[in-house]
A and B are shown apart, each in its own frame.
Chain A
Amino acid sequence: MDTARSVKGEAMEAAENRDEMLARVRGLCVRRGGRSIFDGVDLDIRRGQVTAIMGPSGTGKTTLLRVLGGQLRPQAGEVHVLGEAVPQLSRAELYALRRRMGVLFQSGALFTHLSVFENVAFPIREHARLPEPLVETLVLLKLEAVGLRGARDLMPAELSGGMARRVALARAIALDPALMMYDEPFAGQDPITMGVLIDLIRRLNDALGLTSVVVSHDVHETFAIADYVYVLADGAVIAEGTPAQLNASEAASVRQFVDARPDGPVPFHYPARSLADELTGGRGS
């Protein structure tokens, strides 16, 4: 009897856990060009939270977003997003799942031949047969949310980098996604734009009831909005926790990253033979 109750309790706990997790990654292995990018990565994206994926450049943060979005199939491991096993989905099922996702690309990736208005209207027109006045209302509301309603008639070439990213954000939330993924949203932005983006990501997440994944290596900006942080390095999760927990961490690899130290577990020098050998052609003692 006790055993039965225990099994039932575990099942209920697992179900609650599943409800709480919007995405779950287990034992993720990705290799590209003979190089291992991930080797057994586990992580959970909790519903309603802003989860940050951080780490030095080249650790595969963007690759992780591509795996979550089904643009890259892993060699091994489980990837569940919104209850679907992403690598096992057919093309049609994958496209159906992507309707519930939004991605803000690092470059913004706006369609250069379309105006700001038409860029934001693009996913709405593609997926919903709505009367034009309603499309216009939806687009203006999305542009208002990012503060760019007045820029509706501009072309992407006329926008600053920060404005382009905000338009791309408006386009990404056009279909009210459940999961919003941001690829290096703060890269190359001035302090004012960075502040705007930080505020937008947090505000949109809470106001629209989204779940957000932010890939970034900007420690202070990301810690300011993240509920939970994973730090990736060498193909594995080397640390995880709330920003406060990571700030208090004593681990050398975490300290190097958080304190922006040039040398440490992630070496300053790319692997090479010694400078003396290089300069003397191996004749040095």
Chain B
Amino acid sequence: MIGAIQGLGRRTLDGLRGLGEAVLLMLRILRAAPEVVRRPRLLIEQLYVVGVLSLVIILVSALFVGLVLGLQGYYTLVDFGAEDAVGTMVALTLVRELGPVVTALLFAGRAGSSLTAEVGLMKATEQLSSMEMMAVDPERRILAPRFFAALLAVPLLAAIFSAVGVFGGYLVSVGMIGIDAGAYWSNMQNAVTVQDDILNGAIKSVVFGFLAGWIALHKGYMATPTSSGVSRATTMGVVHTSLAVLGLDFLLTALMFG
């Protein structure tokens, strides 16, 4: 019994210590923002790696999500004679929820895991140590550009996701089912507002980009410098980001739309 309580206490303390380390790391990364601005090439390189190279999975996923939303929306709404509102349903679902959330989940799997593995391997192969000994701070040179790239990439990818998803909904509901194109677009235009829907969706995607970059880099930077340690850190990075995104999405939705 005493052993179990001790174990629980130890795990709680370890968890709190880990959280404290993560917060301190984030503060140091944020302090490096001026250097990232001074050296935009580093940021652009990382934007290409985490953003441009994630485009294919985002575009393909968004198209299929839009197709499915259009189809499911029609099947549900047609029972109520409200099939013309399918455009509104597709757009609101994407802009408010699926755009930011699915983009963040895909980003965690495609780019976040790659960030964790890259930083973890740099640590395991002493590249970060050698950088420190060359008087180059790896938190500024390696972590900061990657974090700000994730912070910028996720909202941009989420916007692309929503746009392509709306187009997917259009293809299936107008092109396949035969709903009037004017009704699809005009109902959407009337129902979706910039302030309530698009802005709140954008805020969500910025928060998720922050989380995805932070968790991925922290896991890699703190990884045990062995092959199994890096592998574990990569898995945990994706799991923790996914859970954090889904949990925070509920909180943000309750705050924004409640």
* A residues with CB within 8 A of B: 69, 71, 95-96, 98-99, 101-103, 105-107, 109-112, 122-123, 126-127, 168, 171, 175
Contacts between chains A and B (CB distance < 8 A), count: 46
Task: With A96-B135, A98-B132, A98-B135 given, name 12 new contacts (CB 8 A).
Answer: A69-B132, A71-B129, A71-B132, A98-B133, A109-B127, A109-B130, A112-B125, A122-B134, A122-B136, A123-B135, A126-B136, A175-B134
B208 CB to closest chain A CB (Å) equals 27
Q: Which residues of A contact B136 (CB under 8 A)?
A: 122-123, 126-127
Indicate the size class of the contact surface on chain B.
Answer: 10 to 19
Residues of A within 8 A of B125 (CB): 107, 109, 112
Does chain A have a CB within 8 A of B180?
Answer: no
State the 5 A-B residue pairs at the shortest beta-carbon distance, nearest first: A109-B130, A109-B126, A98-B135, A103-B133, A99-B135
Q: Give Cα A105–Cα B134 distance, bound, in whole angstroms.
A: 12
Is B14 among interface residues, defined by CB-CB distance under 8 A? no
A101 CB, nearest partner CB in chain B, Å: 7
Residues of B within 8 Å of A96, CB to CB, are 135
In the complex, what's the smallest C-beta–C-beta distance from B165 to chain A, in angstroms? 34
* Interface positions of B from 130 to 161, Cβ below 8 Å from A: 130, 132-137, 141
Q: Judging by beta carbons under 8 Å apart, are B126 and A105 in contact?
A: yes
Contact partners of A175 in chain B: CB under 8 A = 134
CB-CB under 8 A for A103 and B130, given A98-B135, A126-B136, A127-B135: yes
**Cβ-defined contact, B127 with A101, below 8 A:** no
Instruction: Collect the chain B residues with CB atoms within 8 Å of residue A112's CB.
Output: 125, 127
- Closest beta carbon of chain B to A72's beta carbon, Å: 11
Shortest CB-to-CB span from A15 to chain B, Å, is 28
Closest chain A residue to B137, Cβ basis: A95
CB-CB < 8 A to A123: which residues of B? 134-136
Distance in angstroms from A28 CB to nearest chain B CB is 19
Task: Please state if B141 and A101 are interface contacts (CB–CB under 8 Å).
Answer: no
Q: In whole Å, how far is B17's beta carbon from the nearest beta carbon of chain A?
A: 16
Bound complex: CA of A128 vs CA of B135, how far in Å? 12
> For A127, what are the chain B residues with a Cβ–Cβ distance below 8 Å?
135-136
- Is there contact, CB below 8 Å, between A105 and B137? no
Q: Which residues of A contact B129 (CB under 8 A)?
A: 71, 105, 109
A105 contacts which chain B residues (CB < 8 A)? 126, 129-130
Q: How far is the CB of A177 from chain B (nearest CB, A)?
A: 10
Q: List 21 A-B contacts (CB under 8 A).
A: A69-B132, A71-B129, A71-B133, A95-B135, A95-B137, A98-B133, A98-B134, A101-B133, A103-B130, A105-B126, A105-B129, A106-B126, A107-B126, A109-B126, A109-B130, A112-B125, A122-B136, A123-B135, A126-B135, A126-B141, A127-B135
A69 and B135 in contact, given A105-B126, A107-B126 (Cβ under 8 angstroms): no
Central interface residue in B125, B126, B133, B141, by most chain A CB within 10 Å: B133
Q: Please judge, given known A-B contacts A109-B125, A109-B126, whether A69 and B133 are in contact too, CB under 8 Å.
A: yes
Max chain A C-beta neighbours (<10 A), residue from B130, B134, B136, B141: B134
Give, as a whole number of angstroms, the nearest-CB distance from B23 to chain A: 18
Provide the bound-state CA to CA distance between A127 and B134, in Å: 9
Q: Separation in Å of the A175 CB from the closest CB of chain B?
A: 8
The distance in angstroms between the C-alpha atoms of A175 and B135, with both chains bound, is 11
CA–CA, A6 to B134, complex, Å? Answer: 43
- Report the Cα distance A171→B134, complex, angstroms: 9
Closest to A103 in B: B133
Chain A residues near B137: list those with CB within 8 A: 95
CB of A176, distance to nearest CB on chain B (Å): 13
What residues of chain B lie closer than 8 Å to A109, measured between beta carbons?
A: 125-127, 129-130
- A101: chain B residues at CB < 8 Å are 133
A168 partner residues in chain B, CB cutoff 8 A:
130
Instruction: Identify which of A103, A106, A111 contacts B127 (C-beta below 8 A).
Output: A111
- What is the CB-to-nearest-CB distance from A20 to chain B, in angstroms, rounded to a whole number? 25
Q: Which chain A residues border B135 with CB–CB below 8 Å?
A: 95-96, 98-99, 123, 126-127
* Contact string against A for B residues 112-136, beta-carbon threshold 8 Å, 1 for contact and 0 otherwise: 0000000000000111011011111
Could you tell me the distance in whole angstroms from the C-beta of B31 to the nearest C-beta in chain A?
11
Chain A nearest Cβ from B137, distance in angstroms: 7
A106 / chain B contacts, CB cutoff of 8 Å = 126
In the complex, which residues of chain A have a beta carbon less than 8 angstroms from the beta carbon of B127? Answer: 109-112
Shortest Cβ distance from A97 into B: residue: B135
* Distance, CA A98 to CA B141, complexed state (A): 16
Bound-state Cα–Cα, A99 to B133, Å: 8
Residue of A nearest to B127 (CB): A109
Nearest B residue to A174 via CB reads B134
Q: Specify which chain A residues have a CB less than 8 angstroms from the CB of B134 in the assembled complex.
A: 98, 122-123, 126, 171, 175
- Complex Cα–Cα for A103 and B127 (A): 12
CB contacts (< 8 Å) of A102 on chain B: these are 133
